């Protein structure tokens, strides 16, 4: 008898900024789950992480815009309206649309029609990554097919989705997980008993300990500057304009270089700002990078910096995985006490924290770390130990496996499950 299939609904696949999803899905396959992916968007990144290429599950791309595939949408409606749960799904959507009269809401129902009509009879559960649009599509389709569904919530989807929508989705879902204690507390207040805290964690087999020799760079040698690294999309919540202002405030006697990895819509504006601050010669903008490239960059860096903050629309980070990756490599971390970052970084122990939106404070702590390699080494050692103890992926993935329960797993060799 074939294994029951979990249909995974994603905003886009694959995406460079979502290695945590690829990591989880590969691990679920290794632990006996049969997956089938349904993506709301086609990929836009020029590069693909190696971990994403290990996934066996087939991928189906739903109509990104309904007018682009009208025949497929019409066929989906014809089939879906014959399903026993169609009336309830339509009623649910109408209630949602009455409070959110947007094209986006129309598009999600159209995508759900296609998803529900194309799901195989072997699908027994729908699982959405992100509580906003992917969860809407999964929920409508699950109602049509009378199937259970669940959701993994992360950051933007938690903080920019209306409370009424989050509450109703969570109450309707079989279960929900989220990766930070902050997010879990917020969602649990809306739907008690439905939400579990399961950190993403990082796979230490792909980020093995890095025991480099003692580094004594202290910013005094122009020929051997301290390397400051940051990895993240150039968007408002990452606070890169604050970081540039902080770099401009560093003492002229200190020698440093800044390396940024990541794409994003604000990248050109940040380059222009850096030039205006007279920093262009000290900054290298490398663009989007694979996880292997990030690892190499981390091992060449002396300090890792994130200046996260809450964006004007409420968007914010959860606990950025790249922060844990930097900590795993014994890098000294300087970050803001924004969102869930303090869940991993304890100021003065596993790194340094400053208030969000404070370039002056960021500059002061950064100057101290540049000049004090011994402090960087202490932070790095403590950070690596924190990751090993609290964020090892092989332990974290157990929370997702337990949430699904044993009925969706098939028998596999124990050795493979441990890969």
- Whole-number percent of the chain with pLDDT over 70: 96
Instruction: For 363-378, write each residue's pLDDT tens digit.
Output: 999 999 999 999 999 9
Determine the average pLDDT of the residues in 328-343.
96
The DSSP secondary structure of 341-373, one letter per residue, reads: GGGT--BTTTBEEE-TT-HHHHHHHHHHHHH-H
Instruction: For 293-333, write each residue's pLDDT tens digit.
Output: 999 999 999 999 999 999 999 999 999 999 999 999 999 99
* DSSP state at residue 3: P
CA distance 115 to 124: 14
Q: Is residue 411 pLDDT above 60, yes or no?
A: no
CA distance 222 to 220: 7
Domains of the chain in sequence order: 5-201+393-417 (3.40.50.2000), 226-390 (3.40.50.2000)
In sequence order, the 6+-apart residues with CB closer than 8 A to the CB of 270 are: 234, 240, 241, 244, 285
The pLDDT mean for the chain works out to 93
Q: Global pTM?
A: 0.91
Q: Are 127 and 150 in contact (CB under 8 A)?
A: yes
Q: Is residue 417 pLDDT above 90, yes or no?
A: no
- Confidence tier at 413 by pLDDT (50, 70, 90): very low
């Amino acid at each position: 008898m074939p294994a029951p299939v979990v249909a995974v609904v994603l905003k886009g696949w694959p995406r460079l900024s979502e290695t945590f999803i690829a990591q989880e899905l590969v691990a679920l396959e290794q632990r006996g789950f049969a997956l089938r992916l349904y993506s709301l968007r086609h990929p836009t990144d020029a590069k693909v992480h190696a971990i994403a290429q290990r996934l066996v599950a087939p991928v189906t791309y739903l109509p990104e815009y309904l007018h682009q595939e009208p025949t497929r949408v019409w066929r989906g409606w014809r089939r879906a309206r014959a399903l026993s749960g169609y009336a309830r799904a339509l009623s649910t959507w109408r209630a949602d649309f009455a409070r959110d009269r947007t094209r986006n809401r129309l598009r999600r129902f159209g995508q759900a029609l296609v998803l529900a009509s194309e799901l195989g009879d072997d699908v027994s559960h729908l699982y959405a990554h992100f509580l906003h649009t992917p969860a809407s599509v999964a929920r409508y389709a699950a109602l049509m097919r009378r199937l259970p569904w669940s959701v993994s919530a992360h950051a933007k989807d938690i903080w920019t989705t209306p409370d009424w929508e989050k509450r109703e989705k969570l109450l309707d879902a079989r279960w929900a997980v989220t990766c930070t204690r902050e997010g879990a507390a917020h969602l649990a207040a809306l739907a008690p008993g439905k939400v579990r805290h399961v950190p993403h964690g990082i796979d230490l087999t792909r980020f093995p300990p890095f025991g480099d020799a003692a580094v004594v760079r202290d910013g005094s040698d122009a020929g051997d500057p301290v390397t400051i690294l940051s990895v993240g999309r150039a968007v408002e919540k990452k606070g890169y304009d604050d970081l540039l202002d902080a770099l401009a405030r560093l003492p002229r006697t200190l020698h440093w270089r800044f390396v940024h990895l990541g794409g994003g819509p604000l990248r050109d504006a940040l380059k222009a700002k850096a030039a205006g601050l007279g920093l262009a010669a000290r900054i290298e903008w490398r663009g989007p990078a694979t996880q292997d490239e990030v690892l190499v960059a981390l091992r060449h860096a002396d300090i890792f910096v994130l200046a996260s903050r809450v964006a004007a629309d409420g968007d914010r980070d959860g606990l950025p995985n790249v922060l844990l990756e930097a900590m795993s490599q014994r890098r000294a971390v300087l970050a803001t006490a924004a969102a869930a970052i303090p869940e991993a970084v304890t100021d003065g122990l596993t790194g340094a924290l400053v208030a969000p939106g404070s370039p002056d404070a960021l500059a002061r702590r950064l100057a101290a770390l540049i000049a004090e390699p011994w402090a960087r080494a202490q932070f790095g050692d403590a950070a690596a130990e924190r990751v090993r103890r609290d964020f090892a992926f092989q332990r974290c993935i157990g929370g997702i496996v337990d949430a699904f329960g044993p009925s969706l797993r098939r028998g596999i060799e124990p050795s493979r499950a441990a890969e």
